[in-house]
Chain A
Amino acid sequence: MKITFIAADGTVTPVEVTAGESIMRAAVQNDVDGVIGECGGSMMCATCHCYVDDAWTDAVGPQEDGESDLLDCAASEVRASSRLSCQIKMRPELDGVVIHLPESQL
């Protein structure tokens, strides 16, 4: 399945992933700039902050428990569509999801 990352400067990077993979790991393993994933997905940092594209927010769903506390510490502006990309696992209905990346993560 496919994820399309759109960086703050407009760079578009399509990435192929398998089901169950998190969006953070997909970005890191495919060298997508704009996602750091410093804590490896253990919900200790906010360096995989992303904005889910408006067309996909319903499919992706709301923040998990504890995400908003960490997002309070995110380096870039937090919006209604903000998520930690480590907490979004790919599943069939997310095939083709569009993810916008913030200007900075640190």
Chain B
Amino acid sequence: MSLDIASLPSSDLDPFSIDFFDNPFPDHERLREAGPVVWLERYGIYAVARHAEVHQVLNDWGTFCSSRGVGLQDFSREKPWRQPSLVLETDPPEHDRARKVLARVLSPVTMRELRDGFAAAADAMVAGLIGRKLDGIADLAEAFPLSVFPDRIGLTQDGREHLLPYAGLAFNAFGPDNALRREAMARAAPHIAWVTEQCRRENLSPDSIGARIHAAADSGEVTADEATLLVRSLLTAGIDTTVNGIGAALYCLARFPDQFAALRADPKLARNAFEEAVRFESPVQTFFRTTTRETELSGVPLPEGTKVLMFLASANRDPRRWDRADAYDITRKTSGHVGFGSGVHMCVGQLVARLEGEVVLEALARHATGIEIAGMPVRSYNNTLRGLKALPLHIR
């Protein structure tokens, strides 16, 4: 430990409040400028908002663990609301065994298999929206992922309306015991029941991604119960996040017409335009880690067993890391953004998200001549996710 203990700036910010969600960017900047580590008085936790520290915490699972929960709750002190995830809420080596199964079923090989079908579906859906006034969220950002991915996971047709509320619940649950979390918990039972049932092997269609996860139990790679939990991860993190990613891209392209013009001029930029939207809006705003030992972060001593809140969205706009951090630029070299995380827990479904985002934006680049905001966007509030509830658009 260094003898020079850096002074620890303190903030009374509530990063789980509606005011903050409405416009988090000025507070992100204040946190970044306050210091490399900031004490959040309201919750008695440490926070990091600069890219370097967020990246460091994400990449040091030995010191900053996930097994005590990646929300505010410390699983070693409080009972989690559900059985912990086998990937999100574990550390190596247990984590790696489960992750390997998901990484295999969501690999580039699988993407090759999905690509043509997803591209055709996006093309047809977008072609049908030209010349219309629509809600960019319901009619495209939600409609597209819901039209392609649940089928590939292998879900039954009935009850899919539970998918987005279940994901909303899971991401609200990472936050504090506030109104958002309590209301989500109060409505949770039917969503949990449906998801639990859907994860069972007999309820997934043959040769689906869900069925392939269960097949890993046959070879003894995971147990049957573990396979069920891994399917749950797909249902929790595989759809709502992509909805918010596509929603973010539409919101960006509608606000910055020069960028949409650049995309039209070169539709091959679609994949990077989506990636840049993930950096710019950061659909997943925050995650926590818990210290496994006494440590030091950028000169600030941290005790064992404390929660550290990582502002992914702030890291993605840290001017220390990014030129013109507040500009949406579809030609930017985006590698290194933490919108999908970083390190061993980096989003295992990132290729599905990118594929879905790419094919939607590519279809827009080919079919649309302009995207305009046609009414007041309505924000959706969640303790972890950033996105819109409604985005009135006119697509020409």
Contact = CB atoms under 8 A, between A and B. Distances in A.
B271 interface: yes
Interface of B: 103, 107-109, 111-112, 271, 275, 333, 335-337, 340, 342-344, 346, 348, 350-351, 354
A42 B344 CA distance: 7
Contact of A42 (B108, B112, B342, B354): B342
A69 B104 CA distance: 10
Nearest to B351: A44
B109 A40 contact: no
A106 interface: yes
A70 interface: yes
A39 to B, nearest CB: 6
Given A44-B103, A44-B346, A72 B109 contact: yes
A45 B108 contact: yes
Given A44-B348, A46-B108, A106-B271, A36 B342 contact: no
Contacts of A106: 271
Contacts of A38: 275, 335, 354
B346 A73 contact: no
A36 B335 contact: yes
Contact of B335 (A40, A69, A73): A40
Contacts of A69: 107, 109
B315 to A, nearest CB: 12
Nearest to A74: B108
A24 B336 CA distance: 11
Q: Which 7 A-B pairs have the closest CB atoms?
A: A73-B108, A37-B335, A42-B346, A28-B335, A40-B342, A44-B350, A28-B333
Nearest to A36: B335
16 contacts: A28-B335, A28-B336, A31-B333, A37-B335, A38-B354, A39-B340, A39-B351, A40-B340, A42-B342, A42-B343, A44-B107, A44-B350, A44-B351, A69-B109, A72-B109, A73-B112
Nearest to A35: B335
Contacts of B354: 38
Contact of B346 (A25, A29, A40): A40
Interface string A34-62: 00111110111110000000000000000
Contact of A45 (B337, B343, B351): B351
Nearest to A73: B108
Contacts of B111: 73
B313 to A, nearest CB: 16
A24 B333 CA distance: 13
Nearest to B345: A42
Contacts of A40: 335-337, 340, 342, 346
Given A42-B342, A42-B346, A106-B271, A70 B108 contact: yes
User: Which of A25, A40, A72 is the most central at the interface, judged by chain B CB atoms within 10 Å of its CB?
Assistant: A40
Contacts of A73: 107-109, 111-112
